[in-house]
Amino acid sequence: MHLSSRVRGISLSMTLALDARAKALAQSGRDIVNMSVGEPDFDAPPVVQEAAAKAVRGGKVRYTPAAGTQSLRKLLAEHVSATRGVRYSPEEITVCHSCKHALSGTVLTLCEPGDEVLLLLPAWLSYMEIVRIAGGVPIEVPSRADCGPDFEAIERSIGARTRGLLLNSPNNPTGYVWSKAEVEELGRIAERHDLWIISDEIYRRLIYEGEPDTSPVSLSESLRARTAIVDGASKTYAMTGYRIGFVAARKEVAGGVERLHSHLTGCPNAISQDAYEAGLREEPPEIAKMAAEFARRRKFLLSELDSMGLRTPWPRGAFYAFPDVSPWLDARGSAGFCEDLLEKEGVALVPGSAFGVDTHVRLSYALSMEKIAEATKRLRAFLAKHPAAKVAAR
């Protein structure tokens, strides 16, 4: 059977594949600590669960408008206006199946075949594939050593065919949160070169210290006009399996995503729309508790990594750490490191190569303190058996 070149070029999402491999090993009886997960280990708040159950029992299981129910779009417009400090109308909101769906719809809406799109490394692996699916050309831009933005590298990467860039703060996999000054600098570059920005703000509620997140849209009217925000319920409300998110952008862009999705998926899941609405309306207390627990784990994990001699860019947000393991790598790079760690010690991590940075690995702390303690114990033992200097000298 002939498969389209569009699909032949795509690999299965490495994080999902790794998660599946770790689960399969655990099912076969191996004692595995899975630190490759990209989802909160908490239940969705009861108010969300009840709203979903009520929607099912009440028969709210029919198609909705392609852009989402009017009440959710209105609520999201109010929510974005309040949290980003700039007014959005319901017509500027398109509800999607997830943030990933919002992102792919927005890239398909903005990106012409052959357009270059800047991905600021390390970049979440789906960005590259989504841009390629849209016919765009992903241009990988290296970051500073602390994983913050390297503006000179960004400027150098811009050519005649560069049309846009993807911003992700707090970042997956580093947890890096851009300062307001950095977003302003990026905004100036976008204005100067007439670039659109897709701002993936899915982790914005998970920031543990320092300055809050700055969205480009809050800086000026003209940045608001060239920026599309993508966000959703997965991380904030621990609703990963509900699959619900949105894009907030000027009407033409939100409308483009709506038209596209009206053919590709019809409408977002009706049950999840009600559940998301309940979460947004109530601001459940479980959200703050979850963030406080992530903050506690982050502190523990970072001090453990530091005591093992691993250099880790400081993660102010999200629920990942991204230590540099380059002294321990052989020719197989970060994938080989993760393979050996999984086989020998039963700890699943994600290789940095999945994010375009082969010198690092990603650890998720969206798992219990006990499991984090067990994983770091095993990682310490693994590193001790493969002393960095010895590996480097080979």
> Where do contacts with ligand PMP occur on this chain (CB under 6 A)?
38, 98-100, 124, 168, 172, 200, 202, 232, 234, 240, 245
Structural tokens at position 286? 């479980």
Of 223, 212, 280, nearest in space to 246 by CA:
280
**What is the secondary structure of 331-372 as a DSSP string?**
TTHHHHHHHHHHHHH-EE-EEGGGGT-TTBEEEE--S-HHHH
Q: Which is nearer to ligand PMP, 202 or 253 (CB)?
A: 202
Least separation in angstroms between CB 269 and ligand PMP:
12
Least separation in angstroms between CB 377 and ligand PMP:
27
Task: Give the span between the Cα atoms of 322 and 299, in whole angstroms.
Answer: 14
Task: Give the span between the Cα atoms of 86 and 94, in whole angstroms.
Answer: 17
Structural tokens at position 112? 């012409």
Helix axes 14-27, 333-345, angle to 10 degrees: 20
Task: Give the span between the Cα atoms of 290 and 196, in whole angstroms.
Answer: 34
Q: Which is nearer to ligand PMP, 98 or 376 (CB)?
A: 98
| Cα→Cα distances 269→23, 130, 383, Å | 27, 22, 45
Least separation in angstroms between CB 29 and ligand PMP:
29
Q: Which is nearer to ligand PMP, 329 or 349 (CB)?
A: 349
Q: Which is nearer to ligand PMP, 202 or 247 (CB)?
A: 202
Q: Which is nearer to ligand PMP, 197 or 329 (CB)?
A: 197
Give burial (CB, 10 Å; 0-12/13-18/19+) of 288: exposed
User: What radius of gyration, in Å, describes the C-alpha atoms of the chain?
Assistant: 21
Neighbouring residues of 78: CB distance < 8 A, sequence distance ≥ 6: none
Of 327, 387, 374, 324, nearest in space to 348 by CA:
374
Structural tokens at position 263? 């053919």
Q: Which is nearer to ligand PMP, 301 or 350 (CB)?
A: 350
Q: Which is nearer to ligand PMP, 245 or 323 (CB)?
A: 245
Least separation in angstroms between CB 234 and ligand PMP:
3
Q: Which is nearer to ligand PMP, 232 or 351 (CB)?
A: 232
Strand partners, 141: 120
Q: How many CA atoms lie within 13 A of 3 on its CB side?
A: 5
Least separation in angstroms between CB 150 and ligand PMP:
20
Least separation in angstroms between CB 87 and ligand PMP:
24
Helix (H, G, I), strand (E, B) or coil at 210: coil
Least separation in angstroms between CB 393 and ligand PMP:
37
Locus of tokens 């010895």: 390
Structural tokens at position 109? 């809406």
Structural tokens at position 383? 């590193």
Q: Which is nearer to ligand PMP, 157 or 168 (CB)?
A: 168
